[in-house]
């Protein structure tokens, strides 16, 4: 996921806009976002500005009671969440960004290549589970205690 995150920031992910620029799409091919069908599928649109992705980010920010304004680019956004978004569990939050980007990409590929539409709410649930599992892998007691508090598990 770290390499994929780096590719996103560098603009190297093969979204339709990038493929069109590299002339990998036939002239006249549809370059619109598979989720909204309105805007060109660019990296910033797919991961931040599409209404489908926006629902995911909003749900995750609401989960942490964090107010936010959508930045103009993935580079800006990455800088914010690498710095912890100003919340107590910066280490935990640093997992959410890459996991979310990866989950959006996998859901996008399911839609593009298999015609399978993923519900954004189900994607959020998968993200939360993967982040929780990632935090367990890191064996971070402070993060686990914070999570338990967030879920009112009373550890």
Cα 147 to chain centroid, rounded: 20
Q: Give every residue of the chain whose pLDDT is below 70, as ranges.
A: 81-93, 137-155
The residue to which tokens 């015609």 are assigned: 115
The reported pLDDT for the residue numbered 86 is: 59
The reported pLDDT for the residue numbered 58 is: 93
Cα angle vertex 125, ends 119, 114, to 5°?
40
The residue to which tokens 């093969």 are assigned: 14
Break the chain into its structural domains and give their ranges: 43-150
The reported pLDDT for the residue numbered 85 is: 60
> Are 4 and 98 in contact, with CB atoms under 8 Å apart?
yes
DSSP string covering 123-151: HHHHHHHHHHHHHHHTT-HHHHHHHHHHT
For the chain, how big is the Rg over CA atoms in Å?
16
């Amino acid at each position: 996921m770290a390499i994929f995150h780096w590719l996103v920031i560098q603009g190297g992910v093969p979204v339709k806009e990038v493929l069109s620029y590299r002339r990998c799409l036939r002239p006249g091919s549809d370059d619109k976002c598979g989720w909204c069908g309105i805007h060109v599928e660019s990296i910033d649109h797919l991961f931040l500005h599409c209404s489908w992705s926006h629902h995911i980010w909003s749900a995750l920010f609401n989960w942490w009671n964090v107010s936010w304004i959508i930045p103009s680019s993935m580079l800006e956004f990455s800088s914010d969440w690498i710095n912890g978004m100003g919340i107590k569990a910066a280490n935990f939050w640093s997992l959410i960004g890459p996991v979310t980007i990866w989950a959006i990409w996998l859901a996008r590929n399911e839609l593009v290549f298999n015609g399978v539409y993923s519900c954004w709410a189900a994607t959020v649930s998968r993200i939360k589970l993967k982040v929780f599992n990632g935090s367990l892998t890191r064996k971070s007691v402070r993060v686990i205690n914070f999570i338990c508090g967030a879920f009112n598990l009373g550890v």
